[in-house]
Amino acid sequence: MKRVIGVLAAAVVIFILAPAAAAWAHPIGASAVYLTVRADRVDVELAIPLDKLNQAAGLHLDGTQASIEAARVPLTQWVLSGVRISDAALPYALAVTALEPQEVNGTRALDVRLSANPPLGRLDGDLRLDYSLVLAQVAGHKAFVFLVSDLEAGQVGEGGPAPLGSLDASSPTLTIQRSAASAWTGFAAMVGLGAKHIADGTDHLLFLITLLLAAPLVAVGGRWSGRRPVRSALGRTLGIVTAFTTGHTTSLALVSFGLVHFPSQPVEVAVAGSILVAGIHALRPLAARGEIVVGGLFGLVHGTAFATAILDLGLDTRATVIAVLGFNVGVELAQLAVVALVLPVLLLLATRGGYRWFRVGLASFSAVASVCWAVAVLTDSSTILQPVFDLISAYPLASYLLFVTASVAGWLASRSRPAPLGPSNGLAA
């Protein structure tokens, strides 16, 4: 497993990916401002500690929805008086869309959601946030600002909201740079996210590689018996990748556009189940061209899991089109990197009898890993194999080199050796 999963991680780290930005934690006692930038508006979410809010606004909210509803009018006016978003000195029209109680880091808080609409109907240039809620009334209070997503500015990371800075009474203004924002920037960011999703997704990676185990082989009488010519193996690999791509592209689009929806837990269990089926097929062929059928059918499941990365960005329809296209390109580039690095090694190993043990060993491990993943999902815990996956992620290049070195060593050790010359083999005197 160390060797196999290192393949994709190495490829993506070396050729495709850049590290994602780390998110700040929301400090206890401080306020937080979360910005989601869309093509035609900015969604704002505020988390304000209730005790600081009451002190600053002169209210007496007790953390219940009833108390919030009773003070909705003055509370709304107070919020709108302390938040301003603009670009090029043109203020956006702000509207409060939700006021709800919440708890942040053990502290009771008010969750405020606003919609900021630009006067020209579209965003234009850098954004400026002016924020004074609580800051002027409570000494030392701070508000930390985070960017949840801004597709056209390239903020699509899965690591959580990106920190932009902090505000206080002496500096209540923050500028969000968007001079380079464009659809192409968003597309490129989603390509990177798609590739990263494969690199980090050991379940998707293991599924694909387990399917590739059967590519160099021919099924005869319900068993893997015989080796395919290289051209035939390449054709079978193309069929596997195409089927998997068709499946996950279809479901990714359907889920991302909200046309279908599935609960996350059953999807994650189904992803684990797909690895089990792929492992069983690598041990004993389930059907003619079974790896292509399995790749296509379970590609639908994997695409549904992929869609989570896009849904979490909260994009509008136009941005979702860009996101789906870019994400798919990234996934395909990562898949091609896997095939380019793994398939030559599999074709080499398949020329020796030892490939059977390699195939059985990896397929068996995949089956065990799939069961462990399913148990982890159902029990809401980490798989017992997580330390192995973490180690591979930490040293992807070393893992891949170890895989190649061990494979070549096994190939050399299993070469046919000439029989020693004996009386019957030598030349007659």
- pLDDT score for 27: 60
- pLDDT score for 385: 84
- Alpha carbons 207 and 188: distance in angstroms, whole number: 26
Containing 318, the helix (H) or strand (E) segment is helix 317-349
Average pLDDT of the residues in 13-39 = 61
- Bigger pLDDT: 271 vs 15: 271
All residues at 6 or more sequence positions from 391 whose CB lies less than 8 Å from its CB, including other chains: 2
- Reply yes or no on whether the pLDDT at 384 is more than 70: yes
Average pLDDT of the residues in 382-402 = 80
- Reply yes or no on whether the pLDDT at 85 is more than 90: yes
From residue 137, alpha-carbon distances to 81, 169, 283, 306 in Å are 14, 9, 69, 45
For 184-239, write each residue's pLDDT tens digit.
888 999 999 999 888 877 888 888 899 899 889 888 777 888 888 888 889 989 98
| Structure tokens that stand for 406 in this block | 């061990």
- Alpha carbons 61 and 55: distance in angstroms, whole number: 10
From residue 375, alpha-carbon distances to 156, 206, 268, 279, 379 in Å are 30, 17, 11, 17, 6
Q: Which of 46-50, 174-178, 187-191, 307-311 is the least confident region?
A: 307-311
For 296-320, write each residue's pLDDT tens digit.
888 898 889 888 888 877 777 888 8
Counting Cβ atoms within 10 Å, is residue 28 exposed (0-12), middle (13-18) or buried (19+)?
exposed
- Reply yes or no on whether the pLDDT at 18 is more than 50: no
Q: How do the domains of the chain map onto residue ranges? A: 31-181, 184-384
Task: Calculate the average pLDDT of the chain.
Answer: 83
CA angle 342, 344, 347 (to 5 degrees): 110
- Reply yes or no on whether the pLDDT at 8 is more than 50: no
User: Among residues 337, 351, 388, which one has the least CA distance to residue 366?
Assistant: 388
DSSP output for 341-377: HHHHHHHHHTTSTTHHHHHHHHHHHHHHHHHHHHHHH
- pLDDT score for 392: 76
* H-helix segments, 44-181: 50-57, 65-70, 72-81
How confident is residue 410, by pLDDT bands cut at 50, 70 and 90?
Answer: confident
- Bigger pLDDT: 293 vs 18: 293
Percent of the chain's residues with pLDDT above 70: 89
Q: Which of 126-135, 167-176, 219-228, 261-270 is the least confident region?
A: 219-228
- Reply yes or no on whether the pLDDT at 15 is more than 50: no
Q: How many residues does the chain have?
A: 429
For 323-335, write each residue's pLDDT tens digit.
999 999 999 999 9
For 281-299, write each residue's pLDDT tens digit.
899 888 777 788 888 888 8
- pLDDT score for 114: 97
DSSP output for 254-312: HHHTTS----HHHHHHHHHHHHHHHHHHHHS--STTHHHHHHHHHHHHHHHHHHHHHHT
How confident is residue 6, by pLDDT bands cut at 50, 70 and 90?
Answer: very low
User: Among residues 205, 303, 293, 199, which one has the least CA distance to residue 249?
Assistant: 303
- Alpha carbons 149 and 85: distance in angstroms, whole number: 16
- pLDDT score for 110: 94
For 113-156, write each residue's pLDDT tens digit.
999 999 888 787 889 999 999 998 999 999 999 998 888 888 88
- pLDDT score for 429: 31
DSSP letter (8 states) at residue 427: P
- pLDDT score for 313: 78
- Reply yes or no on whether the pLDDT at 177 is more than 90: no
- pLDDT score for 294: 86
Percent of the chain's residues with pLDDT above 90: 41
